[in-house]
Structure 1
Amino acid sequence: MVQAQPLQHVGNGAGKEDQAYFDPSAPPPFKIANIRAAIPKHCWEKNTLRSLSYVLRDVLVVTALVAAAIGFNSWFFWPLYWPAQGTMFWALFVLGHDCGHGSFSNSPLLNSIVGHILHSSILVPYHGWRISHRTHHQNHGHVEKDESWVPLTEKVYKNLDNMTRMMRFTLPFPIFAYPFYLWSRSPGKEGSHFNPYSNLFSPGERRDVLTSTLCWGIMLSVLLYLSLTMGPLFMLKLYGVPYLIFVMWLDFVTYLHHHGYKQKLPWYRGQEWSYLRGGLTTVDRDYGWINNIHHDIGTHVIHHLFPQIPHYHLIEATKAAKAVLGKYYREPQKSGPLPLHLIKYLLHSISQDHFVSDSGDIVYYQTDSQLHKDSWTQSN
């Protein structure tokens, strides 16, 4: 059973007419091996020193910002410090994310050490998140098996209490979801990224998860100690607000990787799902000046299909793969210095993409008209 495809558009991007006649759920006329063959061989090579240089760059910037904040400690400086440091926390997360994929280096031990340092510093349990994120990549685009921003089925959605429903689909609440996801996952799923006995993990992964939870606990203890010695208000300004901005970045970027395109994209079940078709529902985004800061994580289609490619080769690999992907690759709308253009896609998706059908092997997001009677698209 295939659900009829809605042809809805947002924004003024080029290619509307072509997209209206293109079915993104149609099985592609190429295989993943064809995409792999089109990517230059050197794009698969991991340069450990180059990867470490990005870590050094980001850590130096974070340290310099902390030193400046302590030195100035004025309400003139704090509003400049918070978005800058929050964005750098997000950059640290992306490098830890590369460690989790093994695209940072060929050494599992180095990946684990660097990943723990980077992720623990921003209160992310490295192995717990790494394992669930691996599940996301292995099942991207699958209604039931995906892990990141997985769609709610109509039955699950209608069983949510009104408060949960409003919190999930009313901005700004969804872009603060990540800490809650770490503790209890998404509605309809159970488990915690901190619990070694969670159903997220196999028995052989429990020791790794315990190690990461302990590292997370040590970092939290350090923050509590600093709050006692330096004052809770000062630590809120120095660490707490940047942490919240980091969470906003993480939820904003990861949500838009899989939602909010100007044409609705499919989700799959059963025999219709494949690794390739699921990966092709991912969307590339342009973040302007932020592209370099957060290590081109917006170049996401090729990353999803081949997560072992280092981030510094993703742009070249994507350019090489476009000839194979054809219309299955959606060219990102160019950004100004800051990616303000993406806000309209987020607003549109939050107001429209609420649940998918309980049945059907190819489904699209549907809208609860009672939740948002006056949607963003209707008022513009």
Structure 2
Amino acid sequence: MVVQEEKDYQNGFDPSALPPFKIAEIRAAIPKHCWVKNPWRSLSYVLRDVLVIAALMVAAIHFNSWYFWPIYWVAQGTMFWAVFVLGHDCGHGSFSNSPMLNSIVGHILHSSILVPYHGWRISHRTHHQNHGHVENDESWVPLTESLYKSLDNVTRMMRFTVPFPMLAYPFYLWRRSPGKVGSHFNPYSNLFAPNERKEVVISTICWSMMFSLLLYLSTIISPILLLKVYGIPYWINVMWLDLVTYLHHHGYKQKLPWYRGKEWSYLRGGLTTVDRDYGWINNIHHDIGTHVVHHLFPQIPHYHLIEATQAAKPVLGEYYREPEKSGPVPFHLMKYLMQSISTDHFVSDAGDIVFYQSDPGLNNNSGTKSE
């Protein structure tokens, strides 16, 4: 059953149609060397990012000028986000073939920006295993119509008014999304299996150590300086994280499907993801915008994603949506973000293939009224 406000397919292409290819065909099209993980190359990216972060901190403290601080905040927040992406690679095992190395580097990188490594790694694995599934997905899951209508007006406004959704990640770590319960810090959360509890405890301890270190530093260098050096870049990083992850799964110019029941498959869910171009920032945040192939094959290292995508495109055909090219700064993505947040409010409670619908009463939305 398909629920959609309008059947408005571009060039007659239905993105919810069963693809005429199998995931094995995509895999076979990707060169074998794209699957090879080079730990030294991965570590070189860590070294690069850490050196840039250190240099920016030294420069900020040296100049200590209101002319320089805004530049520092944007640059350093972007570097914090780049560090998150490398920790993300550790979580997928695409950083190296060594679970121990992945875990050590992942804990160091993610704890440094207040992310519980294993807690996030496990929930992110759930996201990849269930991408595009209305109920089982974990990242930016659509609200069903009944759940949407049960929310109070303040919660609706916070979820669907920029910039509030772009500040959601720390709250998601503690409480997840509406309609879901549990915490990434609680080993007994339903996010985790019993045999994963020890790992979650370790990550929560690492997070707590980093948070305690920040509190201690605030007594030495003053809370205001710590806010300027670390606090504001942290929130810039959060905005990057929420922006990028949201646009991986929302805001395409053509409505894309979400699935339930027998209509969902790993391949169909992965094909609902969207590649994005961030211009020269692509290199800084490790090509995370090259996302479709990453979602289908998260074992591929980030430095092979572009080549793997080019090889996969002939197989994907119209199921691959070419990203709009970015200018020097990816401002073009803001129109997709604003459009999606203002119109993509909920999906139907019924139907195995559903599309986002709009609430015309929210923010004076002019979208089509939901049934």
Please report the TM-score for the alignment, with normalisation by the length of structure 2: 0.98
Question: Would the aligned equivalents of 1:82 and 1:245 in 2 still touch at CA under 8 Å?
Answer: yes
- Residue correspondence of structure 1 range 88-103 to structure 2 within 5 A: 88-103=79-94
Give yes or no for the alignment of 1:372 onto 2:338.
no
Give yes or no for the alignment of 1:274 onto 2:265.
yes
Listed as ranges, the gaps of 5+ residues in structure 1 are 9-17
Give yes or no for the alignment of 1:128 onto 2:123.
no
* Residue range with higher mean Cα deviation, 323-332 or 64-73: 64-73
1:259 to 240, 250, 273: 250
- The alignment of Structure 1 onto Structure 2 pairs a total of residues equal to 368
Q: Which residue number corresponds to residue 147 of structure 1?
A: 138
Cα offsets for 1:137-163 (capped at 9, x unmatched) = 000000000000000001111111111
Question: Would the aligned equivalents of 1:128 and 1:212 in 2 still touch at CA under 8 Å?
Answer: yes
> How big is the shift at 1:223?
0.4
> How big is the shift at 1:376?
9.6
Give yes or no for the alignment of 1:162 onto 2:171.
no
> How big is the shift at 1:20?
4.0
> How big is the shift at 1:6?
3.1
Cα offsets for 1:176-216 (capped at 9, x unmatched) = 00000000000000000000000000000000000000000
> How big is the shift at 1:288?
0.5
Question: Would the aligned equivalents of 1:89 and 1:243 in 2 still touch at CA under 8 Å?
Answer: yes
Aligned partner letter, 2:191:
L
What secondary structure sits across from 1:257 in the alignment?
Answer: helix
Question: Would the aligned equivalents of 1:269 and 1:360 in 2 still touch at CA under 8 Å?
Answer: yes
Question: Would the aligned equivalents of 2:359 and 2:367 in 1 still touch at CA under 8 Å?
Answer: no
Question: Would the aligned equivalents of 1:140 and 1:275 in 2 still touch at CA under 8 Å?
Answer: yes
- Residue correspondence of structure 1 range 1-380 to structure 2 within 5 A: 1-4=1-4, 6=6, 19-374=10-365
What secondary structure sits across from 1:192 in the alignment?
Answer: coil
Question: Would the aligned equivalents of 2:90 and 2:103 in 1 still touch at CA under 8 Å?
Answer: yes
RMSD value, Cα: 1.2
> How big is the shift at 1:52?
0.3
Aligned partner letter, 1:89:
F
Cα offsets for 1:60-88 (capped at 9, x unmatched) = 00000111111111111101100000000
Aligned partner letter, 2:315:
V
Relative to 1, partners in 2 of residues 1:354 and 1:374: Cα closer, same or farther, differing over 3 Å? closer
Matches of 2:367 and 2:278 in 1, distance apart? Answer: 22
Question: Would the aligned equivalents of 2:144 and 2:347 in 1 still touch at CA under 8 Å?
Answer: yes
Identity %: 79
> How big is the shift at 1:229?
0.9
Q: Which residue number corresponds to residue 14 of structure 1?
A: none
Matches of 2:191 and 2:22 in 1, distance apart? Answer: 30
Matches of 1:329 and 1:69 in 2, distance apart? Answer: 42
Relative to 1, partners in 2 of residues 1:20 and 1:367: Cα closer, same or farther, differing over 3 Å? farther
> How big is the shift at 1:41?
0.2
What secondary structure sits across from 1:303 in the alignment?
Answer: helix
